[in-house]
Structure 1
């Protein structure tokens, strides 16, 4: 289909060029109409090719200019043969239209700059910044604007070429000029002093005032690509349940809308100069779920303590990144991670490692026994991605994915949930190809299966729950909204929304699973249901060496790890402690039948006792809870930051005493009181 559209478009332009140069009116008409038709197909059914053309610098604006240019050449050539000078005014009118187009583009750039604030927010009232709805999207996209506004002119010139009647061209140009003038006027109005949003300095002053009013004490700092948003999202709930005043600090503008629904204030500070304004705020602690190039920028703020909390723990080297030594503390789940850092010798001192558990795992339900006799055994296959280093042991998808899925699908009592990592195939195309083949195996297995389906009421219930959850979590702005309009549409949430979202999410998950046939295999790739919801529906996990294993241990259920790195089983278990209580599967999936048998008959499960001990080692004790340990670590680091600030203030006062009579220093307790109030 793509090659056909490309061929039609190229042929149409070639025919239009030949028709213009000869001149040959029928060929000119056919070429112009053909190119317009191909444009319609491109924008309706081949959006990928539109992007490809844009990357090749042959976007819609270039194609429209070329189409009009060939029409003008044709008209001038016709004028030479029939009526010289008749078509010259039409050409002049077309030039005026293009001048207006570029004027609109220049003004739209100015408008966009006034609507690009140095700080983006969510969940904060920004009415003081005078934000307004965005201009129509057509005025912000030069190519689409030129095609839409210029279509009447193109049609008029085409009719003139066909009928030799200049009136058609004049009428079309009049319509295009009117549309262009209206668009230019609509944009110019937005540049008037009373219609402009707040300027950069006004926004920065507002931001500092907001910091002074809100007085945040702990924040989540995140920088990354669009596909990595899950790394921050997993920490939203634990952060929201702290007694401190939390804030989320982002660096990329596109990430503001990728943070999941939360009541926590969100601020995006793209520039380093804006980020540095946090130094004089009440912010004490920043939590870092990932490393990025921009992390080094915020680490320069001396008044803030930094803790690396990671986005999951595994036995991979990435869980002991040497970058971790740049943080004040490294927070891990349990003793195993502490030992891992000590063995890795990457510069992280043991005194800086704090065990806080995994507070996200409160959502994981404990083991409730084997699958019911005669029912389906639900197996979750959740491989990780291929990583950056090309190690074949990173992911099982490439070498073992199809074998594992075939072995599981061969058992009529198995229901498979396949949930690949969001980054699968982002580095190695073989992983992407294998992932697609696995998905096709699942779809083919479903076509061979049959059974009862939930009645219509289940689908109705899911639709109702989805609408309720969307109402609570959706941003509520139109698709054409720009960043400033989104800030306007996302003010501070109403009290109690967080609890309503939790209840709506739980109700949605129940409705989702109830709407699916109990026998049907599933490929789970959407944000809903999340991984932990899949944990709660499964009897067995098959995964790779990754944080998924550590998290799944909270359930106490059986799990298996695929060994695709070429190690002997003993060496595999010694190299990766998270495998200590797992069934190890080889790439040929020969051990799958025995594994399923042990899941269905717990008395044959030789690893049941080992799993409890490993969970304690990886995740820490059950009491106090992970959330309590996490909150305690936050309080302690906030206190450390407060004490550091107090010492620095005393030192500064001693080095630069204020003029006037010397005052006796206040007692330590008195100076510490405001610090305690800051994070109470």
Structure 2
């Protein structure tokens, strides 16, 4: 539906519903059969549009207690009242009384169907949900049709349509058998739907009971014997914080495991062959205490993190999802972990200055394994356009104007860049921009409009049609690999069944398909055309490889970009003098500083075009080592060393716990469940 009609529908559809009921009442009281039928038809049409295109409006109406059930019952009863009022002889009115009983029977079936659907959904809501783990023992099956299980409003409208249509036909023709046939069809549909749901409650058709699932989970933990895991909890837009660690975790020795807390997050985690478990309840989460799990890595803090920190047999390391000079990178919560893993010496100094309770002995420098594949400096644009990546961060929670440049400086910086005909701009705002401050969201939209207008004025060479066609095929293949191929009606139990066994090599296939898609994406773009990149693809690191220059804010984007050692600039919207700005935020020490008015962009571009004038190259190399660790040492190896050392500390701690537990005289001494070396990933028989 067009946006204009959507806006009109937010007010117009509720008005149509109200007017249709008012007209129905008038038609039933007069009685005026034509008015009654016309009003009923208008109401049904409004319901169809409402549930097809305006579901938020339908939800808002339901909150007033005038939900679909009330509206359908009222609509039908007004039809019956109009029919009874139209008949002047008492003996004629008695003909319609069985129709009223039939309607009541249909409504009873609807409520019974709804109650049964709730029971079915409860039996299919498991205490532990998994991916990449064989769950065939749990008697999982395909979900019932969504119309029966999860959409009672749509079910009532659809199943009740024959009854309403029959009543309308009878009102127009004065032939009761139309209504009888319609009511009969509605009753039959309701009965079939109820039977379909009741069958799923039979002992042989329902999934395993919660206690059976937990026993199965314990047995799987004992068989798989996990050693290192990643624990993650967060909102719908935070999955990227975990996804950036999937490849690194997959290369760790031992048997990795991913532990989640929110059910929806199971499908937000990217393609991986690693086993994933989602344990929503804290009581069930505590079962990990009796497993062989030694180390949990934490990419983010959350309210539920404190729950898993209670497990004394596991060592916890905070790995974060990016480092910057912001206060959020030295959160006092970090002292709750056994160790804090950082990229380089700069983060260690940051914690010392912040004095938030994290001791220096608990900080481990492991580098940034995700950055090992970023291309190094290519030596400038080599005569072509200068590709500038403007990647401002979001506004944050504290309202500090220095958090993001998009509000005060974004439009000015973009105007300066667009004024240079030799610049190709890639604009990639943070996905959470505008989520707290509407001003940031509005500024983001204005920047995008500036870029669209500049593209309209610029004539760019069109790409090779063959490349475009190849990109379409690559997109289709990537969607096939990442979509999961689920039915729309699939629930978590059905998805768990379909994802029990990972397709061998699927994660590698997705990585290769993504790399191919990114190459074709960049090749398919018109030469020199500016781009607004707001989706998950292409990824930020792919944009790094395209750019000759980064403009950003004080954020982890700057630290990560330094892996390339290419020039970068930071917008100073903090209100601090430049000297103080550099002193307070060490990550901008090797950056060009831009003021909110965009001054300095021309000089910055000149430096990129003429590398000999780049006086900050040496400073960038030095700062890169401080922020990310020595370039000569692969971060993946340093990360593995950190895992190995912390696992050894966990085993030693578990030994001490076991040896400290008093035993009854004559009773055998308990053994540590995780004793010995880190096992291989092959499950022992």
TM-score when normalising by structure 1: 0.95
- Give 1:288-303 correspondences, 5 Å limit: 288-303=298-313
**Does the 8 A contact of 1:383 with 1:421 survive in 2?**
yes
Give 2:318's match in structure 1, choosing from 308, 329, 333: 308
Closer, same or farther in 2 for the Cα pair 1:81/1:672, shift >3 Å? closer
Equivalent position of 1:5 in the other structure = 13
**Does the 8 A contact of 2:292 with 2:674 survive in 1?**
no
Closer, same or farther in 2 for the Cα pair 1:393/1:111, shift >3 Å? same
Q: Note the C-alpha offset of 1:586.
A: 1.1
Give 2:74's match in structure 1, choosing from 66, 75, 78: 66
Greater Cα offset, 296-305 or 37-46 = 37-46
**SS in structure 2 of the partner of residue 40 of structure 1:** helix
- Give 1:388-399 correspondences, 5 Å limit: 388-399=397-408
**SS in structure 1 of the partner of residue 535 of structure 2:** coil
**SS in structure 1 of the partner of residue 408 of structure 2:** helix
Closer, same or farther in 2 for the Cα pair 1:351/1:97, shift >3 Å? same
Q: Note the C-alpha offset of 1:446.
A: 1.7
Equivalent position of 1:179 in the other structure = 189
Give 2:213's match in structure 1, choosing from 198, 203, 211: 203
**SS in structure 1 of the partner of residue 94 of structure 2:** coil
Q: Supply the distance in 2 between the matched residues of 1:448 and 1:9 (Cα, whole angstroms).
A: 47
Give 1:606's match in structure 2, choosing from 615, 623, 628: 615
Q: Supply the distance in 1 between the matched residues of 2:349 and 2:203 (Cα, whole angstroms).
A: 62
Which string of whole-angstrom CA distances, capped at 9 and with x for unpartnered residues, describes residues 436-464 of structure 1? 22222222222222222113211221122
Greater Cα offset, 433-442 or 9-18 = 9-18
Equivalent position of 1:656 in the other structure = 663
- Give 1:569-584 correspondences, 5 Å limit: 569-584=578-593
Give 2:488's match in structure 1, choosing from 476, 479, 493: 479
Q: Supply the distance in 1 between the matched residues of 2:395 and 2:321 (Cα, whole angstroms).
A: 17
Closer, same or farther in 2 for the Cα pair 1:50/1:535, shift >3 Å? farther
Closer, same or farther in 2 for the Cα pair 1:56/1:585, shift >3 Å? farther
Equivalent position of 2:575 in the other structure = 566
Give 1:257's match in structure 2, choosing from 263, 267, 276: 267
Q: Note the C-alpha offset of 1:334.
A: 0.5
Which string of whole-angstrom CA distances, capped at 9 and with x for unpartnered residues, describes residues 304-351 of structure 1? 000001110011101010000000000011111001101101000000
Q: Note the C-alpha offset of 1:303.
A: 0.3
Q: Supply the distance in 1 between the matched residues of 2:470 and 2:250 (Cα, whole angstroms).
A: 29
**Does the 8 A contact of 2:655 with 2:675 survive in 1?**
no
Q: Note the C-alpha offset of 1:86.
A: 2.5
Q: Note the C-alpha offset of 1:44.
A: 3.5
Give 1:116's match in structure 2, choosing from 121, 125, 134: 125
Which string of whole-angstrom CA distances, capped at 9 and with x for unpartnered residues, describes residues 349-397 of structure 1? 0000000111110231111111121x22111111111111111111111
Which string of whole-angstrom CA distances, capped at 9 and with x for unpartnered residues, describes residues 204-240 of structure 1? 1111111111111011100110001111111111001
Is 2:685 aligned against 1:676?
A: no
**Does the 8 A contact of 1:332 with 1:354 survive in 2?**
yes
Q: Supply the distance in 2 between the matched residues of 1:444 and 1:80 (Cα, whole angstroms).
A: 70
Is 2:531 aligned against 1:522?
A: yes
Equivalent position of 2:3 in the other structure = none
**Does the 8 A contact of 1:217 with 1:679 survive in 2?**
no
**Does the 8 A contact of 2:294 with 2:674 survive in 1?**
no
- Give 1:91-106 correspondences, 5 Å limit: 91-106=100-115
Q: Note the C-alpha offset of 1:279.
A: 0.2
**Does the 8 A contact of 1:282 with 1:678 survive in 2?**
no
Q: Note the C-alpha offset of 1:138.
A: 0.4
Give 2:52's match in structure 1, choosing from 44, 49, 52: 44
Q: Supply the distance in 1 between the matched residues of 2:233 and 2:12 (Cα, whole angstroms).
A: 42
Give 1:14's match in structure 2, choosing from 8, 12, 22: 22
Give 2:556's match in structure 1, choosing from 547, 552, 556: 547
Which ranges of structure 1 fall in alignment gaps of 5 or more residues? Answer: none
Closer, same or farther in 2 for the Cα pair 1:158/1:491, shift >3 Å? same
Give 1:647's match in structure 2, choosing from 644, 656, 660: 656
Is 2:239 aligned against 1:229?
A: yes
Equivalent position of 1:349 in the other structure = 359
Equivalent position of 1:622 in the other structure = 631
Greater Cα offset, 2-11 or 599-608 = 2-11
Equivalent position of 1:464 in the other structure = 473
**SS in structure 1 of the partner of residue 653 of structure 2:** helix
**Does the 8 A contact of 2:254 with 2:678 survive in 1?**
no
| Structure 1 segments of 4+ aligned residues over 6 angstroms from their partners | none
Q: Supply the distance in 2 between the matched residues of 1:383 and 1:74 (Cα, whole angstroms).
A: 64
**Does the 8 A contact of 2:299 with 2:319 survive in 1?**
yes
Which ranges of structure 2 fall in alignment gaps of 5 or more residues? Answer: 1-7
**Does the 8 A contact of 1:376 with 1:518 survive in 2?**
no
Q: Supply the distance in 2 between the matched residues of 1:624 and 1:658 (Cα, whole angstroms).
A: 53
Q: Note the C-alpha offset of 1:58.
A: 4.1
Q: Note the C-alpha offset of 1:415.
A: 1.2
Equivalent position of 2:227 in the other structure = 217
**Does the 8 A contact of 1:332 with 1:356 survive in 2?**
yes
Q: Note the C-alpha offset of 1:600.
A: 1.1
Q: Supply the distance in 1 between the matched residues of 2:512 and 2:555 (Cα, whole angstroms).
A: 30
- Aligned residue pairs: how many? 671
Is 2:202 aligned against 1:192?
A: yes
Equivalent position of 2:160 in the other structure = 150
**Does the 8 A contact of 2:371 with 2:563 survive in 1?**
yes
